[in-house]
Structure 1
């Protein structure tokens, strides 16, 4: 089980946390970030926007297990527990009591490794490309923090 303090806090977090989700920062050898284009369906959160891959915990799974499962379901890539490193945590706009825990993938990926399972599309994007796209705020802040650490 990962100590939540291992994730650097970005901004203020809710006092009472009732929902936790895991997202993954994955990149390629050119330090481009793998992002998901969300389906453009009005009933889902952030339709038609770009974000990092990930999602909520199910049952008794740990945050790392949620990150592994969600990333596999959405990209077809199974990351081992030793390939995920705690990176940051941030409040989610989707719920006032929610926190996203971002893991950094230690494995470099290539576009041909991705078999999209959810969303309208994916891309490996540079920092300047991301600046000009509609990106979910929490993903944008995590990505900005990531690039500031390189």
Structure 2
């Protein structure tokens, strides 16, 4: 596939103890960003809003329902879609806090739990959407 617009959402999830809950992508050829650490999320379907999309995708991927009020939009993106030659990606990035690790049932990839202080250590393993979201997150959070 060349060209075209892809619309989607992703969410940076923060556990009840303040760690980041991310997705280690499956290392398969048909998966975008294979083997990388990324955010949970996915494509918009039909006429759903970006918020409706992130609520649905997160529920599907972690097996735990977070209502819309739990998500705050922290960023937007419009630019090249690196997985599709000539493609464009329009997306929104959300943040949800107080997510209970022990209630999650990850259905795609594996759960990657990252302490905020360890972000630099994993930087070479991050997918682009995760890099983007973490840059925003780090600007918003007070330094420890």
**Shared fold by TM > 0.5?**
yes
Q: Which sections of structure 1, spanning at least 5 residues, go unmatched?
A: 1-16
* Aligned 8 A contact 1:26 1:34 in 2: yes
Question: How far is the alpha carbon of 1:45 from its aligned partner?
Answer: 1.0
Question: How far is the alpha carbon of 1:127 from its aligned partner?
Answer: 3.2
Corresponding residue number in structure 1 for 2:5? 18
Which of 20, 40, 52 matches 1:53?
40
Q: Which region of structure 1 is more displaced relative to structure 2, 65-74 or 91-100?
A: 91-100
* Aligned 8 A contact 2:16 2:98 in 1: yes
What RMSD in Å do the two structures reach over aligned CA positions? 1.7
Matched, 1:132 2:142: no
* Aligned 8 A contact 2:74 2:136 in 1: no
* Aligned 8 A contact 1:20 1:99 in 2: yes
**What CA distance in whole angstroms lies between the structure 1 residues aligned with 2:38 and 2:31?**
13
Corresponding residue number in structure 1 for 2:89? 98
Matches within 5 A, 1:1-150: 18-90=5-77, 91=79, 92-95=81-84, 96-105=87-96, 107-119=97-109, 121-133=110-122, 134-150=125-141
* Aligned 8 A contact 1:73 1:118 in 2: no
SS at 1:55 equivalent: strand
* Aligned 8 A contact 1:27 1:124 in 2: no
Q: Which sections of structure 2, spanning at least 5 residues, go unmatched?
A: none
* Aligned 8 A contact 2:16 2:101 in 1: no
Question: How far is the alpha carbon of 1:32 from its aligned partner?
Answer: 1.6
TM-score, normalising length: structure 1: 0.79
Aligned residues, how many? 132
Structure richer in strand, relative to its length: 2
**What CA distance in whole angstroms lies between the structure 1 residues aligned with 2:140 and 2:66?**
22
